[in-house]
Amino acid sequence: MNGTRNGDGHVQDEAGILGTARERFGYAALRPGQEAAVRAVTSGRDTLAVMPTGAGKSAIYMVAGAILQGPTVVVSPLIALQKDQEESIEDRDEEAHTVARLNSTLSRARRGDVLESMVTGDLEFLLLAPEQFGHADTIAGIAAAKPSLFVVDEAHCVSEWGHDFRPDYLRLGAVADALGRPPILALTATAAPPVREEIAQRLGMADPALVVQGFDRPEILLIVERFLDDEEKRQAFLGWVAKAEAPGIVYVATRAHAEEIATAIGELGIAARAYHAGLAAGERDEVQNALMENQIDIIVATTAFGMGIDKPDVRFVAHYDVSDSLDSYYQEIGRAGRDGERAEAHLFFVEADLGLRRFFAAAGKIEEDELKLIAEVAQAAGEPVAVEAISAETDLSPGKVAVALARLGDAGAVAVGAAGEAVPDNGDPARAAEAAAEAQERRRRYARTRVEMLRGYANTSGCRRQFLLAYFGEAYDPPCSNCDTCLSGADVKPGLDETPFPLGATVAHAVWGIGQVIRYEGETITLLFADAGYRTLDLTLVLDEGLLLPVKPGFGAPLPAKTDAEDTDRDGGGKKDA
């Protein structure tokens, strides 16, 4: 191992970090965001790293894990993604046989061998999905190995604010406790400030270092076309896609649209296939492989497609239907241009499309009586009880039970154990159910405001890049010269000579509480409130009526205040750059 350690085994000098990166993994250099995250983790701090797709998040846990004394546990949501991560480590790691996957395809004997190799020190990196912690022997086996780092990849999956929420991720905070609470490294390519906050809270991260690398993807041209109705949109889309440079991805909102649009593209003589959750797993793999191997030009997909997809030469990502949030939109368009060459993100927008997204935002509600019933069943058990047992007792789906337990845990009626089980607490089920239902309603209102931010992005007359980056808390001075509004010569500067509150400033509103200034456009100001979500106000009214008051930074702010690194460097250097 490289580097100088203190008594806890934590690295103290940067030479150890860079030496390990070069000598063991062949990285000629680390980007500033990567180095800052490795430095935070190896100093013993929980760390949340938010970096664009393709920015080298895996290099962080590879280098940090190699430096720290003890094995590294990497939680990833998909077997295909774990396979890619395993191959990446094997390709770079100079020390052989240091990585293994633990999943449902392994025999009991092989599982035992993998866990034993962690204990003996022969295995450095273990890759697994969160549901694997449902096996008590898995938790015990990993805990016996005394892991030095717990990595949560695709960490936005733990957040109900996130665009790819997965209930199994809710157990990971308890898993970290069961493993002895090693430093936690949470990694995500897209997380607006509220999502960052929930990631840290759900994982129980203690005073986490926040490392945010610049969100801008300057090589991607941002275009929005607005239409009055679906037929006008359809004709414009087909005309555009007939000339677009392949390969490309088209995102739609429903399975029916995926089939319909793929067929329409095929009738143009372009090889296209649909991809959605209604297809058998084998057929989904076949379609995905066809795109990866350039056997088809275009894949038309719902959000079931995308996570872990790393095809560098995607020349466009088109949205025939609008995404459910700017979080999702940014993640989806980030699959274009990963080779650094010019690419295009093209949104075909009809105002009425937002109605479907509002409907989806309101879906998934758990009724108060269901919350109370789940709490009562958990309390009556008197001991930890499995989600499946509560599901059978209540006739509610395991997924709904898992989400309900998380909400009830926030309200103090139950806790979620490492295996996902409900651990009874002393809270009153009725009061907890009421509190959880109220919190749920706040979330639903918040979700509706996120849909309105999509409307704002589609209808802005200013720089789209500035709008998108401001959503993620990143300042940008337009023009960008690579979005349709900037290229049209429109006035993309705010319509104000001076702004009364700086971007990012913490302010207070009499009704909506504490919020932060997100952006200005024309005579409006957009703010993000902890409970009320995104709100756009008339600035003249704000000033005349004194609707906003400045608040000391950090006091009651809904966003994480500690930022250890903010980096916009996307360039590396030398062979096998990070």
pLDDT digits (tens, 9 = 90+) for 28-73: 888 878 999 999 999 999 999 998 766 688 899 999 999 999 999 9
Residue 211 · residue 45 · CB < 8 Å: no
**Is the same domain home to 269 and 164?**
no
Quote the CA–CA distance of 131 and 28 in Å, as a whole number. Answer: 36
pLDDT at 93: 84
Assess if residue 570 is contained within a domain: no
Residue 203 · residue 152 · CB < 8 Å: yes
Assess if residue 564 is contained within a domain: no
pLDDT at 563: 36
**Is the same domain home to 27 and 171?**
yes
| Average model confidence (pLDDT) across the chain | 85
pLDDT greater than 50 at residue 12: no
Rg, Å, the chain Cα set = 24
Residue 2 carries which side chain, given as an amino acid letter? N
Quote the CA–CA distance of 329 and 224 in Å, as a whole number. Answer: 12
pLDDT greater than 80 at residue 6: no
Q: Is the dihedral of CA 311, 317, 323, 328 positive or negative?
A: positive
**Is the same domain home to 21 and 96?**
yes
**Is the same domain home to 64 and 181?**
yes
Domain end position, chosen among 173, 197, 215: 215
**Is the same domain home to 481 and 534?**
no
**Is the same domain home to 44 and 186?**
yes
pLDDT greater than 60 at residue 379: yes
pLDDT at 363: 66
Confidence of residue 309 (pLDDT cuts 50, 70, 90): confident
Q: Is 220 exposed, middle or buried (0-12, 13-18, 19+ CB in 10 A)?
A: buried
pLDDT greater than 70 at residue 281: yes
Confidence of residue 191 (pLDDT cuts 50, 70, 90): confident
SS3 351: coil
pLDDT greater than 50 at residue 153: yes
User: First-to-last CA distance in the chain?
Assistant: 19
Domain count, the chain: 5
Q: At what angle do helices 326-333 and 429-459 cross, to 10 degrees?
A: 60
pLDDT greater than 60 at residue 184: yes
pLDDT at 551: 84
pLDDT at 530: 75
**DSSP summary character for residue 497:** S
pLDDT at 566: 37
CATH of the domain at 521: 2.30.30
SS3 118: helix
pLDDT greater than 80 at residue 463: yes
pLDDT greater than 70 at residue 401: yes
Quote the CA–CA distance of 382 and 378 in Å, as a whole number. Answer: 7
Phi, psi dihedral angles at 351 (to 5 degrees): -50, -40
- The residue that leads in pLDDT, 575 or 198, is 198
Query: How would DSSP label each residue in 52-76?
Result: -TTS-HHHHHHHHHHHSSS-EEEE-
Domain end position, chosen among 360, 384, 412: 360
Quote the CA–CA distance of 30 and 58 in Å, as a whole number. Answer: 12
Quote the CA–CA distance of 540 and 523 in Å, as a whole number. Answer: 7
**Is the same domain home to 43 and 164?**
yes
pLDDT at 5: 40
Indicate the pTM of the whole model: 0.79
pLDDT greater than 70 at residue 15: no
Q: 300 - beta bridge partners?
A: 250, 274
Read off the pLDDT of residues 402-418 as tens digits, 9 standing for 90 and up: 888 888 887 777 888 88
Confidence of residue 572 (pLDDT cuts 50, 70, 90): very low
Assess if residue 525 is contained within a domain: yes
C-alpha 401: how far from its chain's center? 23
- The residue that leads in pLDDT, 87 or 65, is 65
Structure tokens at 253: 């909102």
Assess if residue 428 is contained within a domain: yes
SS3 167: helix
pLDDT greater than 80 at residue 18: yes
pLDDT greater than 50 at residue 559: no
Confidence of residue 152 (pLDDT cuts 50, 70, 90): very high
Owning domain of residue 553: 494-558
pLDDT greater than 50 at residue 576: no
Mean pLDDT on 213-223: 91
Residue among 337, 126, 127 nearest 222 (CA): 337
Assess if residue 452 is contained within a domain: no
pLDDT at 491: 60
CATH of the domain at 99: 3.40.50.300
Residue among 175, 120, 185 nearest 143 (CA): 175
Assess if residue 239 is contained within a domain: yes
Quote the CA–CA distance of 376 and 27 in Å, as a whole number. Answer: 54
pLDDT at 34: 92
**Is the same domain home to 42 and 142?**
yes
**Is the same domain home to 87 and 153?**
yes
Domain end position, chosen among 171, 199, 215: 215
**Is the same domain home to 487 and 502?**
no
**Is the same domain home to 27 and 167?**
yes
C-alpha 18: how far from its chain's center? 28
- Where is average pLDDT lowest: 234-243, 380-389, 460-469, 486-495? 486-495
pLDDT greater than 80 at residue 468: yes
Mean pLDDT on 185-208: 87
Query: How would DSSP label each residue in 411-462?
Result: HTSEEE-TTS-EEE-SS-HHHHHHHHHHHHHHHHHHHHHHHHHHHHHHH-SS
Confidence of residue 206 (pLDDT cuts 50, 70, 90): confident
Mean pLDDT on 494-498: 57
Assess if residue 255 is contained within a domain: yes
Assess if residue 77 is contained within a domain: yes
SS3 125: strand
Confidence of residue 486 (pLDDT cuts 50, 70, 90): very high
pLDDT greater than 50 at residue 560: no
pLDDT at 440: 83
Confidence of residue 168 (pLDDT cuts 50, 70, 90): confident
Neighbouring CB atoms inside 10 A of 29's CB total 17
**Is the same domain home to 80 and 155?**
yes
Taking the CA of residue 305 as centre, how many other CA atoms within 13 Å lie in the half-sphere pointing to its CB?
Answer: 33
Residue among 122, 126, 195 nearest 154 (CA): 195
